[in-house]
Amino acid sequence: MFRFRSFARATGAILLGAGVANAATVSLTLQNGNGGGGEFNTTAFAVQNDAGPGILLTQMTFTVGDTQYLFDQLYLGEEQFLGGDGTQLASLLVGDRTDDNAGPDLFTYGFSNFGSGVAFRGQWDIDNDNGDFNADMRNVFFNNGAAPNAVATFLFSDGSGIVYEFPDLPVQSSYTLVIPEPGSLAGLAVVALAACSRRR
């Protein structure tokens, strides 16, 4: 997927694969978590699958952005599906659940039966690699100067996907992001994929 990286950097998002014509979409909310520390030391997140009927969200990955930080903990006790039928499952494929100032620079969930209209919520904690537990996600994911911004990847059961690089964003108490943004991005993605296949 990373051959698309330069394009993703230019536009903020790219759609991958078969779902381009029937664009897969998610809604992502981010707000201050309840895990202590300063604002956005822990971040409560919710992702809703806004793809078409029958298209499941199967996997989600976030990178931390500035690699001088890490994901210390994904909180099992905060994880919950909203609007599902009780058959939804989430497994943390990559990530750490231990509060120990250590962990990887990305996490990945795999999902089962995560259909359209259903949301999954949880919470992460970012720490500094130097052991400082207090970190503000808003200066780690983005607004981090020359460091790379965080990238979120969403994969769907129809083979489509979204790679979203966070732009720098204003300091707010909560964020509601539609990914990709409605409008031009889907069309741009089609053009980019066509150009890509011509080059092969």
For 186, other C-beta atoms within 10 Å of its C-beta total: 19
Q: Which of 78, 79, 129, 181 binds Ca ion (CB under 5 A)?
A: 129
Which CB sits closer to Ca ion, 56 or 126?
126
Q: Check residue 70 for interaction with Ca ion (CB under 5 A).
A: yes
CB 71, min distance to Ca ion, A: 8
Strand locations in the chain (E): 13-16, 26-32, 42-49, 57-63, 69-74, 80-82, 89-94, 106-112, 119-128, 151-156, 161-165, 174-179
Question: Peptide bond before 180: cis, by omega within 30 degrees of 0?
Answer: yes
CB 123, min distance to Ca ion, A: 11
Q: Check residue 136 for interaction with Ca ion (CB under 5 A).
A: no
What's the chain's length in residues?
200
Q: Check residue 112 for interaction with Ca ion (CB under 5 A).
A: no
CB 161, min distance to Ca ion, A: 23
Q: Is 1 helix (H, G, I), strand (E, B) or coil?
A: coil
**Contacting positions for Ca ion (CB under 5 A):** 41, 67, 70, 72, 96, 98, 100, 102-103, 105, 125, 127, 129, 133, 144, 149
